[in-house]
Amino acid sequence: MHTANILILTTAIVAETCTALGINCRGSGLCLGNNGILGNAQNNLRAMDPNQRFTDGQHITCVRASSPTHPFLCIFYQNTGRSWTVSQTIDHVQNLIDHECFACGSDPTDPGNDVKHGQLTANMVVNARRGMDQVLQVRTVDTRDVTDEKA
């Protein structure tokens, strides 16, 4: 009986681990064909004030995609319940690049490699709007960045 309980518990733990979605390169179907655009977003982040803070849902930086529909690749946090600095964001985007994500992806913000507890997301957005555009005009490296667009 004891062995059966251990087997059931072990199976449950393995099943939970297998279903947890960790760092990944998933995103919208619009991500296809935009290889390298995540590096452009990273360059924009490096040009920003590293201490500037953003909260869930705010578009931290957005870069125009090369696809015909002209969406933007935007970087933002989801389900974290707290604010993040640009410096922390650079680290999370670098994790995606190191994971060989070229456009879209998600990086867990908390230990455990599970995005359901909070994540930085890079994904395509049709109506991009930088989180602080109304307050601050941030000059970015990429001249096609959304900060130059009037949305």
Mean pLDDT by 10 residues, the chain (151 residues): 42 45 92 90 97 97 83 96 98 98 96 91 86 40 36 32
For 8, list phi and psi in degrees, rounded to 5: -65, -45
Annotation: CATH topology of 22-148: Killer Toxin P4; Chain A (3.30.430)
DSSP string, 49-76: -TT-EE-TT-B-EEEE-SSTT--EEEEE
Q: How far apart are CA 105 and CA 24, in angstroms?
A: 5
Per-residue confidence (pLDDT) for residue 82, from 0 to 100: 96
Per-residue confidence (pLDDT) for residue 130, from 0 to 100: 62
Per-residue confidence (pLDDT) for residue 131, from 0 to 100: 56
Residue with tokens 């059931």: 8
Per-residue confidence (pLDDT) for residue 21, from 0 to 100: 86
Per-residue confidence (pLDDT) for residue 56, from 0 to 100: 97
Per-domain boundaries in the chain:
22-148
Report H helices in 1-104. Answer: 2-19, 37-46, 86-98
Long-range contacts from 90-97, C-beta under 8 angstroms, 24+ separation? 90/42, 90/45, 90/46, 90/50, 92/120, 93/38, 93/41, 93/42, 93/45, 93/120, 93/122, 94/42, 95/23, 96/23, 96/25, 96/38, 96/120, 96/122, 97/38, 97/39, 97/42
Per-residue confidence (pLDDT) for residue 11, from 0 to 100: 37
User: What is this structure's pTM?
Assistant: 0.73
* pLDDT tens digits for range 37-67: 999 999 999 999 999 999 999 999 999 987 7
- Cβ atoms of residues 136 and 60 within 8 Å: no
